[in-house]
Amino acid sequence: MNYPHYPDRRILDLAGFWDFQWLGDADWESIHPDSFVRETAMAVPGVFDSLPDYSQRRGVGLYRKQLPADLLPGEQLRLKLGGLGLCGRIWFDGERIGDCQLPYSGVSYDFTVEQPGRHELVIAIDNRFDPERVPLFNPNFDFYGYGGIYRNVELHWLPICAIDRVQVTPLDLQTVRLTAKLLGEVPAVCTLAIAFDDGEASFHLCHVDHDTCQVELPVPNPRVWSPDAPHLHTVEVAIPSDRIRERFGLRTIATQGQQILLNGEPIELRGFNRHEAHPELGPVQPPALMLEDAQWLKRMNGNFLRCVHYPQNEQFFDLCDELGILVWTESMGWGNKPEQLANPQFADLQEEQTRLLVRNGCNHPSIIIWAFLNEAASDSAEAVPLYTRLVDAIREEDSSRLVSYASNRSTRDRCFGLVDIISLNTYPGWIGNTDWTVPSADRIAPHIASLVEHFSQPEFADKPLFFSEIGACGLYGCHDLARSQWTEEFQADYMAEATRVTLTSPRTCGIALWQLLDTRSYGPFGDVRCKPRGYNCAGVIDEYRRPKLASLAIAKLFGEL
């Protein structure tokens, strides 16, 4: 179980097989659990449209789980869903307790047991594209929109006054601010019992303001977290009715001019973009798969992952905490157009999911960058109000980390002044290739040089410059002496040159190559030329985690440069 832990709570893990009914192209508003008829079983976590019986189907699947009969009227319960897609509706004992329009986000729903006897949960999952109900996910996204319950589902019995989370913010390498968020019948004054690393508890009388109380404390025997020495601490915070255990690391992250400083020292980011993906499991990530991806990064001498393009599994961030992997995490967005950025519903959901991203990930020392809206129309007037709103929301939730977004608008971008790091997605000689007389890899150096020159002008010169995407595709097992496009040789040449040019420039603070592994894209639709097999094939390992030649080339360069 990933952090936080609640040692005194009764918690029911609902992973396993649920009853399932396929409703297909049903009217969303007419669906009700009273009409449920079991057809088969469905795995949770799992996705239905990767299975033989429902492959590539878009529609509504209805999930049902019988609950223990010892639930008592008046008990307060919390349902925690680690992530689902593309949208969901949840009922408890036939009463609707919530809707989810936030694909991949960790969400929770609080409700009360009303009657004794038999109890059940029913969750409707819809993976159809719908701009009204699912405005955050568009059908042209370059990653597949699966239908299912992607991550763990838990049922918590809540006490009369409960601790939601304790945000641990390092103020320096020895001191933290603890911000406890309370739920239920919250008193005006609260005594917190606080113990670090299984030590003796100290007691602190705190005034509660808006269900929140704060205390600043030194950490006994502090040990600094870094990629080379990922030391972790725990803190246990208790009130008379509840107790929570959070894990954190003592580290600072900041910028100074064109550098990123980790614990006061310059650091260069060397890594990849990573999707949660597998040909059969889709976005469902068993621990073994997460560990495999992390080990591939380490084998290639990397220290950084940009986790794209949606909130990823908190359990993976726990692993990054333990292994010393630096992380960029972002809320969902991909290529959104000006009219979407100006849409009030879209903007509200963007802020909601981005605040949840920060709240759910607030205590991972591995996370050093919060981000949002990959490759949206940040060169438009419509972008400025929403980008400002999202940056403000992130900094209101957590001002201790850096903020950025990945832009493919190059020198036309209008929003770089809002964030800490200028992050560029660019594919010279690969995307937008029109001149066949110049080899693709030969276009990289002049293109990067022109960007470096532009972003060295005074209005940009005080910010780090990061290449958040650059890469090219290669088909696993495809070889050619001519090193032609789509071969492993072509990809290795391109990625090696991109890495060499970027990391040898004194202006840049790092690179996230596109991408770690091949990932399913549009499926049977979209641009066939750029998505052979229905995959984005730019991974340095393929979808089954088999290494391509590019992985060897990058491992060598990351180790030498």
Model-level pTM?
0.96
Distances (CA, A) of 33 to 67, 130, 134, 474: 15, 22, 21, 47
| Torsion, Cα of 335, 463, 404, 536 (10° steps) | 50
Task: Give the pairing type, strands 269-274 and 304-307.
Answer: parallel
Q: 515 preceded by cis ω (within 30°)? A: yes
Weakly modelled stretches of the chain, pLDDT under 50: none
φ, ψ (nearest 5 deg) of residue 166? -125, 110
The pLDDT tens digits for 199-219 are 999 999 999 999 999 999 999
Query: Residue 531 has what pLDDT?
Result: 83
Amino acid type, 450: S
φ, ψ (nearest 5 deg) of residue 198? 65, 20
The pLDDT tens digits for 513-542 are 999 999 999 755 555 557 888 899 999 999
Distance between CA atoms of residues 157 and 337, nearest Å: 43
Distance between CA atoms of residues 45 and 152, nearest Å: 6
Angle, vertex CA 512, rays to CA 508 and CA 513, nearest 5: 115
Q: Please classify residue 317 by burial: count the beta carbons closer than 10 Å to its beta carbon, then call 0-12 exposed, 13-18 middle and 19+ buried.
A: buried
Give the position of tokens 């390092």. 170
Q: Which domains does the chain have, with CATH numbers?
A: 11-158 (2.60.120.260), 161-250 (2.60.40.10), 254-560 (3.20.20.80)
Q: How many other C-beta atoms lie within 10 A of the C-beta of residue 109?
A: 16
For residues 374 and 405, is the Cβ–Cβ distance under 8 A?
yes
Tally the C-alpha atoms within 13 A of residue 177's C-alpha that lie toward its C-beta.
12
Query: Residue 434 has what pLDDT?
Result: 64
Task: Give the pairing type, strands 367-371 and 76-81.
Answer: unpaired
H/E segment holding residue 46: strand 46-47
H/E segment holding residue 322: helix 314-323
Residues comprising the chain, all counted:
561
H/E segment holding residue 496: helix 488-503
Query: Residue 317 has what pLDDT?
Result: 98
- Report which DSSP code applies to 10: -
Query: Residue 433 has what pLDDT?
Result: 66
φ, ψ (nearest 5 deg) of residue 39? -105, -35
Q: Phi-psi bin for 422: left (phi > 0), alpha (psi -120 to 50), beta?
A: beta
Average pLDDT over the chain, rounded to whole?
Answer: 96
The pLDDT tens digits for 497-515 are 999 999 999 999 999 999 9
Distance between CA atoms of residues 311 and 149, nearest Å: 14
Q: Catalogue the long-range contacts made by 182-189 (C-beta closer than 8 Å, 24 or more residues apart).
A: 182/208, 182/211, 182/212, 182/213, 182/239, 183/110, 183/158, 183/211, 184/76, 184/158, 184/159, 184/160, 185/160, 185/161, 186/161, 186/211, 187/161
